[in-house]
Copies of this chain bind each other. A is one copy, B any other.
Amino acid sequence: MMVRRLFVSLFSIGAIVTTVNVTASANEPIQPIKAVKPENPDLVELGKMLFFDPRLSKSGFISCNSCHNLSMGGTDNIPTSIGHSWQQGPINAPTVLNANMNLAQFWDGRAADLKEQAGGPIANPGEMASSHNLAIEIVSSIPQYRALFEKAFGSDKVDIDRATTAIAEFEETLVTPGSRFDKWLEGDKKALNKQELEGYKLFKSSGCTSCHNGPAAGGTIYQKFGVYHTYETESKIEGRKSVTGKDSDLHFFKVPTLRNVELTYPYFHDGAVWTLEEAVKIMGKVQLDIDFNEKEIASIVAFLKTLTGEQPDIKLPILPPSNNKTPRPEPF
């Protein structure tokens, strides 16, 4: 109450409002997302180019953006991804948006951070099917790229460490502030309607926020999928167990972010569920042993849709051409 009154009385004093807003949302389990101002814009720009460059794949056809499409919430919007030679991936591609807030990367947390993650798909035979050596040979054969490494790192050496550092630095900028929910958190009490607010209250009181918390509304812990009831799936994915080797980690996954969840369908690690209504119903049952009724589901879904933030403003990069020395793609 104290906090709320303070907020109202200072509403028109711009310079102080920021501080007060933080206070306003301090007791909420989900915190607002802050915009990111990159320290090294040259590094970010280089990372963006690499993120969009399909020459990091064996075929010359698949880029990071193929499965983490920034036109589509940083995902591919299909159950599991398409890899080299149209191989079917084993798991749903997580969004790259706000991924810097995850405690680790991939559903099973097998990469410590974005940089480590970025190297994975390049060399995965089922994904981009290249190798770090080949990808680096391609990039370093292109003088325009070498000049950009020089600009970003101070020397024109191209290696996988630098390339993945650049991609990660670009991904650090892929945050989505400005959602209606964040406006509400920051004090604009009209930003949510009655149904959305009811949904948020129910989301909290039901226990969803014990996992979906922090600025990303997820990404802060591992949790078992199927706490009260088994989640029925055809997927053989073991989750965290495949990293730790512990049976007790079977079907533990990094809790996915709910930011932009309206854009990141289909849902769950198997991508088997297409609607938010069904996803909420299942989560209530298997994780909390709650049978939400239709009205409750509708209100939680209405709340979830307020988590869609401003999407990153991306100018499509123009990639420097290969030349006579550049290793050629092998699409077939």
| A interface with B by C-beta (< 8 Å) | 52-55, 59-61, 66, 69-73, 76-79, 82, 85-86, 88, 262-263, 265, 274-275, 277, 311, 313-319, 321-322, 324, 328-329, 331-332
28 A-B contact pairs sorted by A residue (CB < 8 Å): A53-B71, A54-B72, A54-B76, A55-B77, A59-B78, A59-B82, A60-B77, A61-B66, A61-B76, A61-B78, A61-B82, A70-B316, A71-B317, A71-B319, A72-B319, A72-B321, A77-B329, A78-B329, A79-B331, A86-B332, A88-B332, A263-B321, A265-B321, A274-B328, A275-B324, A311-B318, A314-B315, A315-B316
Given A52-B71, A53-B71, A61-B82, list of 6 further CB < 8 A pairs?
A59-B82, A77-B322, A78-B331, A79-B331, A85-B86, A275-B324
Closest B residue to A77 using CB positions:
B60
Closest B residue to A305 using CB positions:
B321
Question: Distance in Å from the Cβ of A315 to the closest Cβ of chain B?
Answer: 6
Return chain B residues, CB-CB under 8 Å to A318: 71, 311
A245 to B61, CA, bound (A): 34
A128 to B77, CA, bound (A): 16
Return chain B residues, CB-CB under 8 Å to A317: 71
Return chain B residues, CB-CB under 8 Å to A275: 324
Q: A61-B78, A76-B60 are in contact. Are A69 and B88 (CB under 8 A)?
A: no
Q: Which of B76, B79, B277, B331 contacts A324 (CB 8 A)?
A: B277
Question: Distance in Å from the Cβ of A131 to the closest Cβ of chain B?
Answer: 19
Return chain B residues, CB-CB under 8 Å to A60: 76-78
A42 to B66, CA, bound (A): 26
Question: Distance in Å from the Cβ of A300 to the closest Cβ of chain B?
Answer: 15
Question: Distance in Å from the Cβ of A64 to the closest Cβ of chain B?
Answer: 12
A78 to B52, CA, bound (A): 16
Closest B residue to A76 using CB positions:
B61
A88 to B61, CA, bound (A): 12
Return chain B residues, CB-CB under 8 Å to A311: 318
The 8 closest A-B pairs by CB, nearest first: A86-B86, A314-B316, A311-B318, A78-B331, A71-B319, A263-B321, A275-B324, A60-B78
- B61 close to A321 (CB less than 8 A): no
- A69 close to B54 (CB less than 8 A): yes
Return chain B residues, CB-CB under 8 Å to A263: 321
- A321 close to B262 (CB less than 8 A): yes
Closest B residue to A70 using CB positions:
B316
| Residue from A262, A275, A322 with most neighbouring chain B CB atoms (10 Å) | A322
- A321 close to B76 (CB less than 8 A): no
Question: Distance in Å from the Cβ of A63 to the closest Cβ of chain B?
Answer: 9
| Residue from A60, A311, A321, A332 with most neighbouring chain B CB atoms (10 Å) | A321
Closest B residue to A329 using CB positions:
B78
Question: Distance in Å from the Cβ of A93 to the closest Cβ of chain B?
Answer: 11
